[in-house]
Amino acid sequence: MGSRLGRRGRATPKVIAGMAVGIRRPLPPMEALSADEIPTGSQWQYEPKWDGFRCIVFRDGNKVELQSKSGRSLTRYFPELVGAVADLKVQRFVADGEIVVPVGGAFSFDALLQRIHPAASRVGKLATETPALLILFDLLADPDGGSLLENTLDVRRCELEAFFRKYCRTAPRLRLSPVTTRLADAKSWLKRTGAMLDGVIAKRRDLPYQSGNRNGMHKIKNYRSADCTVGGFRYNEGKPLVGSLLLGLYDKSGLLHYVGFTSSIRQQDKLALTAKLKPLIAAPGFTGDAPGAPSRWSTGRSAAWEPLRPKLVVEVSYDHFSGGRFRHGTTLLRWRPDKAPLQCTFDQVRQLKRSMMALLSDSNRAAAR
């Protein structure tokens, strides 16, 4: 990083970019390499993967800055967090964390996205109605202004826990992320929270802060699966072959609502699948919400689609279901001829609104001891 380590293993402070700490701003955060399995070994520690906005918080005297993963400022969008950091009895520090918005015991990504709004009055209203939390998981500069970037993670975690005990125990908008070196604990988080937790993060305890690269951190996503009725399809652009299947779920009134798509169809299967779908083309396809309606997750794809009689069921994997939609495209796992289309209901993607705040509470009670 260009900083020299002092006698106590911390980088010599420097005044850079207007902050009286040894950190250059914007600071590229550590990034994660996607992995299918949780890595094991004494060099790894595990943390929950939170579904929020990555945030590096800078405090220098009266100045507070919230930096996004991309290096942009989030400060104006979360005034309640700026106030919470400013109220801490510490003049300077830099920490890495995640901004989340708790709603009913769960974390709402929709509520988080609503904060990115040009009107300060709207942001202020939402900050009061649905205040955010800042979950801290790394300390990058200490209260003396010394950079900790070149310290190993096990040292930084000890510094973070001491910092949190001293300054943050009574701060209602700040939380300490749980951590464990036991694989069984990490797996228990997934079991305890079910589909609520975004996954597990594995970090190398023996490395310094890996700013801007993926060398020291793996993310293992908590993918889920759901059975969906195929309510329509889209052709590949410029080709008479199916390009994506349009997925639906039934509500309690028996209406079929569009919830997303899957385009992970093998090229060699498209000709036969197109032939299978064509005889089923018939309106309306979806009897509730239909494709082409405004969606937060719209990708600008063509609105043209072919409706199908609800005869086919597929099982897909997904990472998030929010606002009545799969947030991203899904992956086709298999066809389900054994399932009746009417069995594909919203019940299977309902998120249990429990455990997420409890998971944080356990960690913060431990830190207070």
Is residue 5's pLDDT more than 90? Answer: no
pLDDT tens digits, 331-355: 998 898 877 899 899 988 875 444 5
Is residue 282's pLDDT more than 70? Answer: yes
Do 215 and 236 share a structural domain? no
Do 151 and 40 share a structural domain? yes
pLDDT tens digits, 349-359: 875 444 567 77
The answer to whether residue 70 is domain-embedded is yes
Do 185 and 74 share a structural domain? yes
45 neighbors 203 (Cβ within 8 angstroms): yes
pLDDT for 360 equals 75
pLDDT for 11 equals 40
C-alpha to C-alpha distance for 52 and 130, rounded to whole angstroms: 14
Is residue 190's pLDDT more than 80? Answer: no
pLDDT bucket at 51, cuts 50 / 70 / 90: confident
Candidates 221, 322, 236; CA nearest to 277 is 236
**Which residues are part of the catalytic machinery?**
49
pLDDT for 63 equals 94
**Across residues 150-177, what is the average pLDDT?**
96
Sequence-ordered list of residues with C-beta below 8 angstroms from that of 187, at least 6 positions apart, any chain: 38
Coil, strand, or helix at residue 141? strand
The answer to whether residue 19 is domain-embedded is no
Domain encompassing residue 249: 224-338
pLDDT for 319 equals 81
pLDDT for 204 equals 97
Average pLDDT, the chain: 86
Percent of the residues in the chain that have a pLDDT greater than 70, as a whole number: 86
What does the block give as tokens for 368? 């207070």
What is the domain count for the chain? Answer: 2
Q: For the CA atoms of 239, 241, 244, 250, what is the dihedral angle to 10 degrees? A: 130
pLDDT for 356 equals 65
pLDDT tens digits, 196-238: 677 899 999 999 999 988 889 998 877 778 889 999 999 988 8
Do 274 and 360 share a structural domain? no
C-alpha to C-alpha distance for 224 and 188, rounded to whole angstroms: 16
**Across residues 226-253, what is the average pLDDT?**
94
What does the block give as tokens for 233? 């399809």
- Sign of the C-alpha dihedral, residues 293, 299, 300, 304? negative
**Across residues 77-96, what is the average pLDDT?**
97
Q: Which residue has the higher pLDDT, 25 or 157?
A: 157
The answer to whether residue 325 is domain-embedded is yes
What's the number of CA atoms in the CB half-sphere (13 Å) around residue 65? 22
Is residue 109's pLDDT more than 90? Answer: no
Backbone angles phi, psi at 113, to 5 degrees: -65, -30
Do 176 and 234 share a structural domain? no
C-alpha to C-alpha distance for 350 and 120, rounded to whole angstroms: 33
Do 215 and 233 share a structural domain? no
The answer to whether residue 290 is domain-embedded is yes
